[in-house]
Structure 1
Amino acid sequence: MIPHRSCLLAAALALSLASSALAGDKSTPAPEPAPVPSSWFADNVLRPRTPFEVVPGKDPNGWSFRLEPYLWSPGVYGTVGIGDLPQMGVNSSPIDVLKQLDWGIFMQAEIRKGRWGIAADGFFAQFSADLAPSGPIYKSASAQLQQSIDSFILAYRAIDARNFFVDAYAGARVYYMGLDITAEVNDNRATRIAQAIGQRVAPEKSFPTSADADRWWADPVLGLRFRVNVTRVLFLTGQADVGGFGAGSDISFFTQGSAGVNITRNISLEAGYRYMYVDYNKDNFLFRMNMPGIYAGMGFTF
């Protein structure tokens, strides 16, 4: 009798514990993990998972091509001189250049494979400018300028990190400058000067009032450039080089910096500031110029 009662008590106790466990599960369910907030801004800007430029299925060391049409609006400040005319000062702001710009073409292109790249950057523009003649003989002058500056470089990716790179490059920058200057003589002063030196001719015959010339030359250049992917969308770039060394120009400098956004994996927009200095003085042709200004472009990568 006793063993039978013990078995009944044990079974009842087990059934009671099981019922309590089931009741406890229904009354206090386990808490679910809190959902992680997600949005385009959070996923792409605050915590980017991979660089935006990485295209799924594409070999990062394979061929790539980039094309970027752009607009650069520089001021033109410096000195020009050709022929028998005196040196003339140029002081045209970016707004002045835009107003007097007849037309222009601006383009960048680059092809890459692995760490190596070949890039070209050039523009051709024609515009007019008012000049400030030196000395008392001329009271005013103006010029029409045709200008082409084209860079061709071979770049090596010295640092290639996940979110930034640094390229070292060398190449050549080819210049074409065509100048057509017209000057107006200060008749009274020119007449007095002509009489003082014993000339009995009209001022416009004593002193030249126009000259035109054009020149081609090429500068070797050495430089560095970089890009930082701040996020998957935002990036910063910079570039600087020095050239000339007496081979073409006596000296030349180029630098630029920009900020940009990736619209898609293949399209980007950027805007920044570009500065160029050229000092060329050979064969009775002087072009010593500072050219700073804002630029903006749209890039296409394939």
Structure 2
Amino acid sequence: MLLPTTLKRFHVPYGSAVFGLALAFCLAAQDASAQSESNWSNQGLIYLLGPTLSGTSGIGPVDTEVDMSASDVFDAIDGAFLGMYRGEGERWGVMVDIVYMDLKAEGSGDGGQLKGKVELEQTTGIVSATYRLSPTTQLMAGALYNDVSGRVLLTGPLTTRRQSMSEDWLDPIVGVLFETPMGGKWSFTGAAQLGGFGVGSDLVTILTGSISYRFNDWSSVDIGYRYLDFDYEDGDGLDRFKFDMREHGPAVGWR
């Protein structure tokens, strides 16, 4: 018996307006700063994250508990990209952060009679404008875009079931960024961001902290920790989708 189920919803019209407004705000900040300053700086960061995933993912009436260690995640990774861009002038700045992960896993139950394959693909993008209050402190405001898709295949002696879903949403996000030198070529960076507020997610929390060692004016290595908490639920019945997940772990980056 084959039971195909496909769940797919997009919040593009409203989401595009929010994301477009945030992007326009960031570009306006960059343009205003570029017009008034000649010392606009640009830097990119490619980093590796060793995440632990835990929480609840729900499709329709079914909730699934997720608990994956960093080693489980690395075993399941089929593709990934993590990168950041930062442009900054004397006061205004722009930050773009992109995280993409494609995870695939297999398992079995009931003495090997029931077998399953699961694929989870997630893309998270954050665009923020920053405004410097002091040499060490900046405010951040922007938008977070999250796209999550998954596919499940269950096979057994009497049944085969395929189920897939795709959901994307946008959240406003605000926060504060703190940077301070530690002496010599060392420095510390910490950031806290909150978002959602019922617009997309009920709440999104992002906390990061890192220590940097600068080799020269254009190259440094960052070692830190990152924590992301998504609390999102939408729809009901078969159209219900829940993504209540925490993703956290050490991160190493090169800029």
When the two structures are superposed, what TM-score results if normalisation uses the length of structure 2? 0.77
Q: Is the 8 A contact 1:63 1:113 kept in 2?
A: yes
Structure 1's consecutive aligned runs of 4 or more residues displaced over 3 angstroms after TM superposition are 129-133, 138-142
SS at match of 1:95: helix
Residue matched to 2:232:
280
Residue matched to 2:48:
71
Residue matched to 1:250:
202
Change (3 A) 1:238 1:130: farther
2:168, 2:254 → 1: CA distance? Answer: 30
What letter corresponds to residue 51 of structure 2 in structure 1? P
- 155, 177, 185: which one aligns with 1:233: 185
Does 2:120 align with 1:151?
no
Residue matched to 1:6:
none
Q: How many residues align?
A: 213
Higher helix share: 1
1:61, 1:235 → 2: CA distance? Answer: 25
Does 2:138 align with 1:167?
yes
SS at match of 2:133: strand
Aligned positions of 1:79-158 closer than 5 A: 79-83=56-60, 86-129=62-105, 141-158=116-133
Higher strand share: 2
Q: Which structure carries more relative contact order (alpha carbon 8 Å, separation 6+)?
A: 2
Residue matched to 1:17:
none
Residue 216 of structure 1: CA displacement? 1.1
Residue 226 of structure 1: CA displacement? 1.0
2:194, 2:117 → 1: CA distance? Answer: 31
Does 2:247 align with 1:295?
no
1:125, 1:256 → 2: CA distance? Answer: 19
Residue 141 of structure 1: CA displacement? 4.7
Residue matched to 1:215:
167
* Aligned Cα root-mean-square deviation (Å): 2.4
Residue matched to 1:262:
214
Aligned positions of 1:28-47 closer than 5 A: none
1:147, 1:289 → 2: CA distance? Answer: 12
Q: Is the 8 A contact 1:92 1:129 kept in 2?
A: no
Pair member with larger Rg = 1
Q: Is the 8 A contact 1:151 1:173 kept in 2?
A: yes
1:120, 1:95 → 2: CA distance? Answer: 28
Residue 113 of structure 1: CA displacement? 1.7
1:265, 1:62 → 2: CA distance? Answer: 14
Change (3 A) 1:212 1:229: same
Does 2:179 align with 1:179?
no
Q: Is the 8 A contact 1:120 1:153 kept in 2?
A: yes
SS at match of 1:122: strand
1:296, 1:209 → 2: CA distance? Answer: 40
1:270, 1:64 → 2: CA distance? Answer: 18
When the two structures are superposed, what TM-score results if normalisation uses the length of structure 1? 0.66
**What 5-or-longer segments of structure 2 have no aligned partner?**
1-36
Q: Deviations over 1:259-285 (max 9, x none)?
A: 110011111101111000001111211
What letter corresponds to residue 56 of structure 2 in structure 1? T
Residue 238 of structure 1: CA displacement? 0.4
Residue 131 of structure 1: CA displacement? 8.1
